[in-house]
């Protein structure tokens, strides 16, 4: 009987151990599952900081200007009788663009030419008579001055008649026509703009601290976005302002663009001026930097427990941007792995997994 009670007691103890162990094992698994659900792995893209040779440079926003550009107008008022151009046309220097009604000018010019011919004939006759002492010196002088006055009147009328035509002062491309045939054109009214697109410059300003590196002949790079591409042009500084602007303490510069194909006056561009020899700099993609008013930072990935990666918020000091890369002056070293996509889902200390095969 005692042996039977002993066996029953052992069986009960074993049952309690098995049930209790099973319960505690399930609780542990549940606790681990809850922890995993509370702190799931965050999928991010990442890359390593690289050390590259970068030249210190100054950047500015500039505006493209034409070295030869003007809004054309006439000095003479009148009704437009002829238009010999269309909008956007390429023209040569001296090409006639517009004609206004000359009125009585052609008749006045013809009369003036006849009077000038008569005055010149009288002067020639007076010279012959004076040679034989037939007239006084005063009479000869009067004949000479009459001839000169008549010739001057002819020249004045010719110039006035020429002003009834608008001619291209230089070769270039016309803008949009602003007048029509039959319209009365007042003196000085704009007719059309003319720009020489083969000779373009860029005007920009740089802070006074860059003054020592600014001089005519300095090479600059001009960039403009064309859709998803960035077009780049070489330019040479041709002029530096002789004084610093008192309002913004900046120097104005003008650089001539070597081959300005595709650019037009008025475009905004980015100008880059190399200020020193290239130096080794730590660089990361600009998308990896979180820019904030209280300071810029990146997420650096470091090894964690059980072969995981932990994201740590790392303050950084950023420098210039070169294309899609940003120079990091302090806070990172070459080889540090930083998050480039998925930062919005991260908090400091989160465990992550890297997937660079997809865009996040």
Residue 48's nearest CA partner among 263, 339, 243 is 339
Mean pLDDT of 125-152: 88
User: Distances in Å between the alpha carbon of 240 and those of 115, 186, 225, 354?
Assistant: 55, 39, 26, 50
Same domain, 256 and 235: yes
Task: Tell me whether residue 189 is in a domain.
Answer: no
On whether both 310 and 264 belong to a single domain, the answer is no
Instruction: List pLDDT tens digits, range 282-339.
Output: 999 999 998 888 889 999 999 888 778 889 999 999 887 777 888 898 999 899 999 9
Point out which residues pair with 338 in neighbouring strands.
Answer: 47, 300
With respect to residue 139, please indicate whether it lies within any of the assigned structural domains. yes
**pLDDT tens per residue, range 67-108:** 888 899 998 888 999 898 999 899 999 999 999 998 888 898
pLDDT in tens, 202-227: 999 888 877 777 888 888 889 888 77
Per-residue pLDDT at 32: 52
User: Residue 316: inside a domain, yes or no?
Assistant: yes
Spatial CA neighbour of 342 closest among 329, 357, 333, 352: 352
Residue 344 class from Cβ within 10 Å (0-12 exposed, 13-18 middle, 19+ buried)? exposed
Q: Are 292 and 268 within one domain?
A: no
132 is in which domain, residue-wise?
102-163
Q: Can you tell me whether residue 316 is helix, strand or coil? A: coil
Q: 248 and 293: one domain?
A: no
The predicted structure's pLDDT at residue 30: 59
Residue 76 lies in a domain: no
* CATH code for position 121: 1.10.287
Return the CATH number at 243: 2.40.30.170
pLDDT digits (tens, 9 = 90+) for 335-354: 999 999 888 888 888 888 88
Kindly state whether residue 83 falls inside one of the protein's structural domains: no
Residue 5: inside a domain, yes or no?
Answer: no
């Amino acid at each position: 009987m005692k042996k039977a009670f002993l066996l029953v007691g052992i069986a009960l103890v074993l049952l309690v151990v098995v049930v209790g162990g099973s319960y505690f094992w399930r609780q542990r698994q549940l606790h681990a599952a809850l922890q995993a659900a509370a702190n799931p792995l965050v999928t991010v893209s990442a890359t390593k900081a690289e050390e590259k040779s970068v030249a210190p440079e100054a950047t500015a926003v500039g505006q493209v200007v034409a070295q030869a550009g003007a809004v054309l107008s006439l000095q003479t008022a009148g009704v437009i009788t002829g238009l010999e151009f269309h909008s956007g046309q390429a023209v040569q220097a001296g090409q006639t663009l517009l004609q206004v009604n000359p009125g009585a000018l052609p008749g006045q010019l013809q009369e003036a030419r006849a009077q000038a011919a008569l005055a010149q004939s009288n002067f020639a006759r007076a010279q012959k008579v004076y040679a034989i002492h037939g007239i006084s010196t005063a009479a000869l002088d009067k004949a000479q001055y009459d001839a000169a006055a008549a010739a001057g009147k002819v020249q004045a009328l010719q110039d006035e008649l020429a002003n009834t035509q608008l001619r291209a002062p230089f070769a270039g491309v016309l803008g949009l026509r602003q007048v029509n045939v039959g319209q009365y054109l007042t003196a000085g009214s704009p007719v059309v703009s003319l720009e020489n697109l083969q000779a373009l410059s860029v005007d920009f300003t740089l802070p006074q601290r860059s003054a020592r590196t600014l001089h005519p002949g300095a090479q600059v790079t001009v960039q403009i976005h064309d859709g998803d591409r960035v077009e780049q042009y070489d330019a040479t500084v041709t002029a530096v302002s002789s004084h610093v602007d008192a309002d913004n303490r900046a120097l104005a510069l003008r650089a001539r663009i070597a081959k300005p194909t595709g650019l037009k006056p008025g475009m905004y561009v980015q100008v880059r001026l190399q200020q020193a020899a290239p130096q080794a700099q730590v660089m990361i993609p600009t998308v990896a930097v979180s820019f904030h008013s209280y300071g810029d930072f990146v997420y650096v990935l470091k090894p964690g427990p059980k072969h995981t990666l932990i994201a740590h918020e790392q303050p950084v000091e950023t420098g210039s941007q070169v294309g899609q890369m940003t120079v990091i002056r302090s806070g990172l070293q070459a080889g540090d792995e930083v998050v480039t996509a998925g930062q919005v889902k991260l908090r400091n200390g989160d465990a992550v997994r890297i997937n660079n095969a997809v865009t996040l």
